[in-house]
Structure 1
Amino acid sequence: MGLLEIKHGLLQVAETLDFLHNNAHLAHRAISPETVFITSNGSWKLGGFGFALSVDQATGGLTSSQLFHYSDYDVEDTALPLQPSLNYTAPELVRSGDSKVGSACDMFSFGCLAYHLVARRPLLDCHNNVKMYMNALTYLTSEAFSNIPSDLVSDLQRMISMDAVSRPSAVAFTGSSFFRDDTRLRALRFLDHLLERDNMQKTEFLKALSDMWKDFDSRVLRYKVLPPLCAELRNMVMQPMILPMVLTIAESQDKGDFELATLPALVPVFTSASGETLLLLVKHADLIINKATQEHLISHILPMLVRAYDDNDPRLQEEVLRRTVSLSRQLDTKLVKQAVLPRVHGLALKTTVAAVRVNALRCLGDLVPSLDKEGILGILETVRRCTAVDHTAPTLMCTLGVANAIYKQRCGVCCGICDSSHLPITHSTSTECTTICQVYAICQGHYKQDRREAWCDCYR
């Protein structure tokens, strides 16, 4: 856990304490690492209220049953009555003569917790021995704070003071320069309240956030940045800005984490996406396909890609054709033949955009290894119809690629392409004839000069 995540978590606990003291009028009395919980979305929550008392009751005096009783010698935790760890307990709760306590006891415990998290070791380690505890507090030296950031030292020293009156409140602690001067922390705090901001504020913030990616570690991205961004995907206006960030974070996630944290937020977007949003999703389709479950692939991702096939935007058509092969590898062959292959054929035959036709023909060539004889014959028919109206070099070269793929399959249909009904119709230029001869030669498995010349002669 990095320092930025610790800062953010401490602020959340401080806000909880502020509410506890000033609104609920309670003293927690047992703050320690064991009573702070981190949720699945990275939020820090305060629990363990078994020793909590109302502030009025605590300041009015505690009964014997409400006091904590610690030993003057080392004792294992299991040998003690159920009570908070001495390492995080305020001295006024330890001294038997102090029966009146207030919310300041929580700030002492909170200071010990903050020290432990930042320094990576507890401030006090007294084995439930009161004498050791009091000696450690009384003779605390500046060397103990050598591993603490300089802008936090004075605040911690005040929080763990033996004088309860000198301890800062929870609100005062949040104003420390340790928090205030960290721009990354301010960004996380803005994300905490992202849903409360208007679209103009969100836009300005997200522009600045795009320059901060390098400053966040993977845990912060996963638990602090991703959840509020996913929640904001419901805002159609902000989707074009937020979706690239979500997909960027998703690249670093493993499959299980993606399915748990990111995919549920993307599913509604898959259903409603259109225009630029749909184009962005299709461009990242390989990422989504490789990380999604088979169930989500069929029920949500395939319908989204089908909409891209059927869209009139050539950019969408090109992008989805480039992702067709990776999609087909994850789907059952029957489903590919039903939902994908007819649309690829349709784009190859109906488009008026050369780039779309080229990508469709390349896609058909890449699909050849996964198809049976009937499917390959369908590809041959599409190739014949395309080259009947399009004699450009890119289309003819893609035809060559399709023929090469079919020949490599050795599936018994290679001879079909040699039939005159499947050979491309070309002009009589020598370049075009040479290209078709190459297709013919690949399908036959050889390239003989005399046969090429004879083939060209028959078309002159």
Structure 2
Amino acid sequence: MDFLKSAVASAISKGPAFGYAFGDRVDIDESIWTLYNGTKREDGSKCSIFSFEVNSNKSRLPLARNALRKLRTLRHPGVIKVLDTVETESYIYIATERVSPLNWQIKRKSLAEETLKWGLHNVAKTLKFINTDATSVHGCIRPASVFLSESGEWKLGGFEALSSMKEDDAMLPTYGSLIPDANRYMAPEITKGGWEVIKQNPTHAVDAYNYGTLIFEVFNGGFSGSDQLGQMKSIPPSMHQSYKRLLNPNPKARMSVGQFWDQGRRLGGFFQTPLIQVTDDIESLGLKADAERDELLGKLDEVADDFPADFFKMKVLPELLKSVEFGGGGAKVFGTVMQIGTKLSDEEYEAQITPVVVRLFANPDRAIRVCLLDNLPLMIDRLPQKIVNDKIFPQMVTGFSDVAPVVREQTVKAVLTVVPKLSDRIVNGELLRHLAKTSNDEQPGIRTNTTICLGKIARNLGANTRAKVLSAAFQRSLRDPFVHARNAALLALAATSDLFSEDDCATKLLPVMCPSLVDKEKSIRDQANKTVDIYIARIRKFSSTMPDTMLPSPSVSSASATAPRMGTPANDAAGWAGWAISSFTNKLTTATGDMITSSMSADQSSQPRSASVPPPIPTANKPPPPLASRSGMTLTKHSTIIPAIASPDTSTGFEDTEDFADDWGGFGDDDNSKNNGTNSNNNKSVDEDEDPWASPAPTSTTSFEDKGEPDFAGWLAAQSKQKAKNPLPKGLAKSSATKPAAAKMSRPTVGARANTEWPRAKPEKKTVVAPKKEVKKVETKAAEDEEEGWGDAW
């Protein structure tokens, strides 16, 4: 064996260039040829090489040269395909498509009956062409002359004795006796009269008889002599009558192979099998109508088990791909392609199906796009990641913005299949941008599927963007008017609860889920309860691991003399909000300092007054210096009494306890700003330790000069009109003229009074002495700061 290879290699090196390399030798029956598996040097593709050594078999050299010549000129689908030939004085090489001897399958009886019929049908069709169209005689029909291609088709070879009866120097009459094993397959007339009688009989006679012996051998697994031909037990009954006519001892009455083929092709004939019909029609699949195509595909499913697997790969699959890509085969044809693809190796899949899939994704036909997306789960594991990222996904994303809703929906669903093959950059960038668009789609089903998709690919998202993207997307879906979209959001939140931090669960997600607890749909309420329970259980588990308090220890608190006093829930047993009220009350009752005294008599202070009249300003026990001396301004006197802070009056609806219900959202409401502005204008400054709810003290009625200060008489008149329109107590009345700046809880200084909205009165020529009030500027400033800061903190 090694010697033979070395001899062949040395012969090639000395002869003309031959672009094929020899491989392993293939065992065949008696033949003038030696068969090798080979490869093409240029691309490594597979081939077979028939080698004839001249020096070792010179007597049969005419047969080898005849075969070389006929194979070069004879072209037919049923004939072995020749790739290249080379002839020298010492050897003849014929490189063909990769083939294997039929004898291997015949001896093992490994072929099904339908497959045997299909093979005999192909050989009969080829012989009909040789006998009728080429007017030639093959003369060597036997299993040794038939080969199986890579696709499993039966290909005819053995053209050593192929002769045209029109030629004077025909090879068969002269060299027929040199054919290996000729006596075993010799026709009866040749046995009696020799090879010369061929010219006296019909052209088809010899080949018809040999074809009959081929039928017997393929169904029985062997053939030893003509005496066995009458045993037809293994031959299909539908063939018996025609089979006998092929073996007729009279060559002139013998049925031709062409006639045998025609009888088998008739309605109900032995060649009318689904397998044969599929192979005949598969090449014209792209030209068939929809009904004919569906019928053919139905037959293809029926014979899938009988078909040679290689035939599906090499013949059926390429035709199906052509039909899908160019012939409008549609989803059904592509589904068959995917079924065949499961039987392919990774290398075969990448070579045959992957290039077509890439081209189909670039096809603008929406039907093809939907078909590809539906079958993506069947082929995603076979597609390389680089192909998916670089070629398939850039074409796939066009479906997110397609005008057809079905394409958008199928694209969203396909994300689940393709996301494992996408890079992190694409997933966290381009993919999320497209999903953000479909989450606002006009179709509620697409919005719902986008939410489901986000929930399922949540763990493929980057840790830095995952929580932010998911919380925003699910929050939007919870407000969706479509009930299934809200349900999908709740289900997704339940499935991804472990991806959020405990802080996000408590501060971001629970607040947006709670409205679903009172949803109008019961299914949403039920699911919301389940999801909220999951988050609350997680938060409770986390809170149990937190420290009891973050406040400093009592020893540290007592060491700081300036630390403010604050109430804590542990010190109050009145309820969950009792600490806030007690803290506010303690601030008022524990204030220290001198109470402001007034020269007003007790009778005046106890006189009933309207709730719209500002209460008198309390004065300190120690008379303060005149206001004019401190501020450089005087006020015009229009009343004998300066309004003071209003005290609670049960007759006007006030109560001793202040209600904070209207201010829960903050101190920026219109009512509070109006009240605060009024009180700040009427009270020039109040010590931090003064009690704003104390009874009013008498005030001085000393007059002072008018220096352009506000007109209190006009202001009182305006208040009276306002009271007529709004009979509510002053503290509850709403004002439409409240400025936004009045919402702050700060008291304007005396110098700022000129900028208020009070009506300015014409100056009168009365001299008014400023009341003597002692106000500490430092304490006033501290009170303002404390009050402002408290409001902001609330």
Whether the TM-score (by the shorter chain) exceeds 0.5 is yes
Q: Is residue 2:182 matched to residue 1:99?
A: no
Match of 1:159 in 2: 246
* Paired AA for residue 447 in structure 2: R
Residues 309 and 320, structure 1, Cα contact 8 Å, conserved in 2: yes
In 1, distance between residues paired with 2:293 and 2:241? 34
Distance change in 2, residues 1:403/1:385 (3 Å): closer
CA drift of 1:184 comes to 1.9
Residues 258 and 291, structure 1, Cα contact 8 Å, conserved in 2: yes
Q: Is residue 2:352 matched to residue 1:352?
A: no
- Per-residue CA distance 1:325-371 (angstroms, 9 max, x = gap): 232223333343344333223312x2122221221111111112223
CA drift of 1:295 comes to 4.8
Q: Is residue 2:431 matched to residue 1:371?
A: no
CA drift of 1:376 comes to 0.7
Distance change in 2, residues 1:15/1:263 (3 Å): farther
Match of 1:83 in 2: 180
**Equivalent residue for 1:390, pick from 476, 480, 491:** 480
In 1, distance between residues paired with 2:209 and 2:348? 37
In 1, distance between residues paired with 2:488 and 2:479? 14
Residues 322 and 363, structure 1, Cα contact 8 Å, conserved in 2: yes
Relative contact order higher in (CA < 8 Å, ≥ 6 apart): 1
CA drift of 1:272 comes to 0.7
Distance change in 2, residues 1:422/1:429 (3 Å): closer
* Paired AA for residue 508 in structure 2: S
Q: Residues 258-337 of structure 1: matches in 2 within 5 Å?
A: 258-337=349-428
In 2, distance between residues paired with 1:294 and 1:115? 53
Q: Residues 39-58 of structure 1: matches in 2 within 5 Å?
A: 39-57=149-167
* Paired AA for residue 507 in structure 2: D
Residues 286 and 326, structure 2, Cα contact 8 Å, conserved in 1: no
Across the aligned residues of Structure 1 and Structure 2, the Cα RMSD in angstroms comes to 3.9
Distance change in 2, residues 1:147/1:163 (3 Å): same
In 2, distance between residues paired with 1:115 and 1:62? 24
Secondary structure in 1 aligned to 2:255? coil
Match of 2:303 in 1: 216
Q: Is residue 2:213 matched to residue 1:112?
A: yes
**Equivalent residue for 2:292, pick from 162, 185, 205:** 205
Secondary structure in 1 aligned to 2:508? coil
Secondary structure in 2 aligned to 1:175? helix
Give the share of equivalent positions with the same residue, in percent. 19
Match of 1:233 in 2: 324
* Paired AA for residue 32 in structure 1: R
Residues 412 and 449, structure 2, Cα contact 8 Å, conserved in 1: yes
Higher Cα radius of gyration: 2
Residues 285 and 320, structure 2, Cα contact 8 Å, conserved in 1: no
In 2, distance between residues paired with 1:298 and 1:161? 67
Match of 1:419 in 2: 507
In 2, distance between residues paired with 1:120 and 1:204? 40
Match of 1:342 in 2: 433
Residues 25 and 54, structure 1, Cα contact 8 Å, conserved in 2: yes
**Equivalent residue for 1:148, pick from 199, 210, 235:** 235
Distance change in 2, residues 1:114/1:178 (3 Å): farther
Distance change in 2, residues 1:392/1:234 (3 Å): closer
Secondary structure in 2 aligned to 1:419? helix
CA drift of 1:10 comes to 2.4
Residues 36 and 45, structure 1, Cα contact 8 Å, conserved in 2: yes
Q: Is residue 2:122 matched to residue 1:12?
A: yes
- Per-residue CA distance 1:45-84 (angstroms, 9 max, x = gap): 22232332223348968565x1325xxxxxxxxxxxx735
Match of 1:31 in 2: 141
Larger CA deviation: 43-52 vs 12-21? 43-52
In 2, distance between residues paired with 1:228 and 1:345? 41
Residues 454 and 470, structure 2, Cα contact 8 Å, conserved in 1: no
**Equivalent residue for 2:518, pick from 430, 441, 453:** 430
CA drift of 1:152 comes to 0.7
Larger CA deviation: 182-191 vs 13-22? 182-191
* Paired AA for residue 148 in structure 1: I
In 1, distance between residues paired with 2:423 and 2:301? 40
In 2, distance between residues paired with 1:435 and 1:211? 46
* Paired AA for residue 2 in structure 1: A
CA drift of 1:268 comes to 3.1
Question: How many residue pairs align between the two structures?
Answer: 420
In 2, distance between residues paired with 1:438 and 1:55? 91
Match of 2:594 in 1: none
Distance change in 2, residues 1:27/1:376 (3 Å): same
Distance change in 2, residues 1:444/1:333 (3 Å): farther
Distance change in 2, residues 1:371/1:4 (3 Å): same
Larger CA deviation: 106-115 vs 234-243? 234-243
Gaps of 5+ in 1: 70-81, 126-135
CA drift of 1:146 comes to 0.7
Q: Is residue 2:497 matched to residue 1:407?
A: yes
CA drift of 1:37 comes to 3.3
In 2, distance between residues paired with 1:215 and 1:191? 15
Secondary structure in 2 aligned to 1:164? coil
Residues 321 and 360, structure 1, Cα contact 8 Å, conserved in 2: yes
- Per-residue CA distance 1:379-409 (angstroms, 9 max, x = gap): 3254255247426543333333333343335
Match of 2:673 in 1: none
Q: Is residue 2:176 matched to residue 1:67?
A: yes
Distance change in 2, residues 1:377/1:428 (3 Å): closer
Residues 162 and 171, structure 2, Cα contact 8 Å, conserved in 1: no
In 1, distance between residues paired with 2:275 and 2:137? 28
**Equivalent residue for 1:121, pick from 221, 226, 233:** 221
* Paired AA for residue 17 in structure 1: L
In 1, distance between residues paired with 2:485 and 2:463? 23
In 2, distance between residues paired with 1:335 and 1:58? 75
CA drift of 1:289 comes to 1.3
Secondary structure in 2 aligned to 1:148? coil
Structure having the higher helix fraction is: 1
* Paired AA for residue 12 in structure 1: N
In 2, distance between residues paired with 1:61 and 1:313? 69
CA drift of 1:248 comes to 5.0
In 2, distance between residues paired with 1:382 and 1:55? 87
